[in-house]
Chain A
Amino acid sequence: MVKFKWVAAGLMGLSLAGTALAQQGPVIIVGLMELSGTGATAGTNFDNGVKLAVKEINAAGGILGRKIEYTTMDTQSAPQTAKALAQKAVDQSAYVVMGPVFSGSFIVSMAETKRAEIPNFTGGEAANITQQGNPYVFRTSFTQSTAMPKLARYIKDTVKAKSVAMIWVNNDFGKGGRDSMAKALEAQGIKVAADISTDPGQVDFSAAVLKAKQSNADALFVYTNEEESARALRELKKQGYDKPIIGETTLTGQKVIELAGDAANGAVAHVGLTVDAPQPAIKAFDEKFQKEYKYKSDHNGMKGYSGMYVVKAITEKIGKFDGKAFAKAMHGATIRVKDVPGVLLDVHFDDNGDLDRESFLVKVVGGKQVVTATLPPVQPIP
């Protein structure tokens, strides 16, 4: 009997030690990224941004004394693969899941992380991501319903266009953007002269550009993913399109400029994040990213990086690794650059997981993004 008591006590001790070790071991964060397929540019950049932040955070002692163990899984830009990998991330007991970046994949995969009550960050901009009452979803970029009205105002006040042709990609991201933009243009009294949908991964934009030219609109709004944006810009230049070309973040990203070459010059976009912004925290990020990866980050790299620092800030605020408490603390949270430089800009999260912060109008000049205006947050940061 005495012997049994000793064995039981020993086993209990071992079990407690194991639990303590697990709590002191690395915290698992999983990235579901588009490392191949149509979203490879966006996913790779986002992933690199996360990795850089993880490296810095670990070098500074981790979060609450625990190192981050970050693993990336390739969704191949396919929603069903993303969903299966989200389940895998749940099985691995991830504390937080980063990605997917593409809205279409995220909308499918987020059900898995929601079921497991795991906070899930996305780079997707489709408006409906945060309109489904999922308390574990958080953005790293603007929602389209925030960004498009800013752009429509610019088209009316600065471009003074009366009609706009729209080329958009027919996926969740593109359709959401097209709907938000059509609504915003209507509110400004601007007519949509041509509504041109294109396919994800489309390689030939000749017909779309011809259609836009035929519409004789005063300006063109292009809302496609990065590679398609580059192809569209090349085709626009090839066909001598001479009206203003306006878009969102994906039109003037660094990778788009690299792929489109001279054809990107003159394109104007509203961007949530750009390494060319004058803020010191962004400049510092730009230098670190270039040193690490030998190329300039686009907005997706910044989304991944700042998103990871949001995870750090909120976890340290709640003082524990608890997904439920994390999600609760995120709603209504404000994180300032003076406290956490890694968030890059003062940011506020609302009850849906949408964020608000300053944004920028940029123009591509000589193969570089030039910030032409800094736009204030929709609501002042509290």
Chain B
Amino acid sequence: MADLLQIIVSGTAVGAIYALCALGFTLLWQASGTINFAQGEFVMVPAFVMLFFLHTAGLPLWLAFLLTCLVAMVLLGYTFKRALVDPLIRHGVIPLVIATLGLSIGVKQLVKAGVTAQAQPFDSPFPDGLLALGGLKVSYADLGTLLLAGLIVVGLQLFLNRTVTGRAMQAVAQNTDAAKVLGINVQRMVLYTFLINAILAVVAALLVTPTYLAKFDMGESIGLKAFYAAIIGGFNQTRGALLGGVLVGVLENLVGAYISPAYKEGVALMLFLVVIIFRPEGLLGRSEERKV
């Protein structure tokens, strides 16, 4: 029983990281109809930026994290929106999907050629060791991950539901035309969504890089799993992204521990296929009607 609980806690911690990325997917989709297939690279880039601030600039982790958030907001939020999304979105989703796929490859190659092709170590923000709760032993890293990811998610929900700006962002997500009529600055709200996505990517980088190691291709796995998680939970629901992420993380761990680690990497894909076939709108998603 203690083993099972440990597997679930550890899986939830990994799933929380997937959920942060998946949340970015759903936010961008709801606000601007953008599917960002470079989401994994949006996690990889902050990892290297943080390493620069940590090792080259010699800054402490908290300051490196905050500065990386700023860099990410400018680079992965504002610049991404203005340089890629704004010019392409008027041509529909497909050109943008292809562009983000291209961006994903381009960013990877840029880091590989311009920074390093080798993995780089990244220290965990949490202390080593295990916390024993009866028979259950949970690592501080897993607990810290759960706590930080939980705080970010709760904070984001509070921001979206309890502030004027957050409600305006939701209004834009639900009906852009109606939001315009109400006098909401739609472009600004969309920009806020891109900035939030950038910050979520930095947090994911902080949590995942100690395990994955900083490498140009570290985003491939997390980007893909976050995409699956967003679809599984419901692409048009932020709650869906959270459920999808945690579900993928926990199931991966269960399959790895009780069946075989060899099948672990296929769990997200299998779940994705099952959901797409039987509940295409996702577990918590709602059906959308479109005029043709």
A binds B: yes
* Interface positions of A (Cβ within 8 A of B): 35-37, 40-41, 44, 170, 196-199, 201-204, 206-208, 210-211, 214, 227, 230-231, 234-235, 237-240, 255, 258-262
> Do B253 and A210 touch across chains, with their CB atoms under 8 A apart?
yes
- Distance of A41 Cα from B141 Cα, bound (Å): 27
Count of A-B residue pairs with CB < 8 Å: 98
**Chain A hits for B218, CB < 8 A:** 203
Near A by CB (< 8 A), chain B positions 272-292 give: none
> Do A196 and B221 touch across chains, with their CB atoms under 8 A apart?
no
> Do B119 and A230 touch across chains, with their CB atoms under 8 A apart?
yes
> Do A240 and B252 touch across chains, with their CB atoms under 8 A apart?
no
A263's nearest neighbour on chain B, judged by CB, is: B128
- Distance of A40 Cα from B6 Cα, bound (Å): 34
**Chain B hits for A210, CB < 8 A:** 3, 6-7, 10, 253, 256-257
- Distance of A237 Cα from B126 Cα, bound (Å): 13
Given contacts A36-B112, A44-B117, A239-B139, contact A207 B213 (CB under 8 A): no
In the assembled complex, B102 has its CB within 8 A of some CB on chain A: no
**Chain B hits for A206, CB < 8 A:** 10-11, 14, 253, 256
List, sorted by A's number, 24 A–B pairs whose CB atoms are closer than 8 Å. A35-B117, A40-B119, A41-B118, A196-B261, A197-B260, A201-B217, A204-B221, A206-B253, A207-B264, A208-B261, A210-B253, A211-B257, A231-B211, A231-B212, A231-B213, A234-B210, A237-B128, A238-B141, A240-B139, A255-B118, A259-B120, A260-B121, A261-B121, A261-B123
> Do A227 and B210 touch across chains, with their CB atoms under 8 A apart?
no
> Do B118 and A44 touch across chains, with their CB atoms under 8 A apart?
yes
> Do A227 and B10 touch across chains, with their CB atoms under 8 A apart?
no
**Chain A hits for B141, CB < 8 A:** 238
Residue with the highest number of chain A CB atoms closer than 10 Å, among B6, B217, B221, B261? B261
B108's nearest neighbour on chain A, judged by CB, is: A36
**Chain B hits for A255, CB < 8 A:** 118
B142's nearest neighbour on chain A, judged by CB, is: A238
> Do B212 and A204 touch across chains, with their CB atoms under 8 A apart?
yes
Given pairs A196-B261, A204-B264, 5 additional interface contacts (CB within 8 A): A40-B117, A198-B262, A211-B261, A235-B211, A238-B139
In the assembled complex, B130 has its CB within 8 A of some CB on chain A: yes
B11's nearest neighbour on chain A, judged by CB, is: A206
Which 3 pairs of residues, A with B, have the shortest CB-CB distance? A207-B256, A36-B117, A203-B212
**Chain A hits for B257, CB < 8 A:** 207, 210-211, 214
> Do A198 and B118 touch across chains, with their CB atoms under 8 A apart?
no
- Distance of A44 Cα from B112 Cα, bound (Å): 13
Residue-wise, chain B 104-148 has the 8 Å CB interface mask toward A (1 for contact) of 000000001000011111010000111000000101011000000
Q: How far is the CB of B229 from chain A (nearest CB, A)?
A: 14
**Chain A hits for B117, CB < 8 A:** 35-37, 40, 44
> Do B261 and A227 touch across chains, with their CB atoms under 8 A apart?
no
A40's nearest neighbour on chain B, judged by CB, is: B117
Indicate which residue in B6, B130, B252, B256 contacts A211 across the interface (CB closer than 8 Å).
B256
> Do A259 and B14 touch across chains, with their CB atoms under 8 A apart?
no
In the assembled complex, B271 has its CB within 8 A of some CB on chain A: no
> Do B137 and A240 touch across chains, with their CB atoms under 8 A apart?
yes
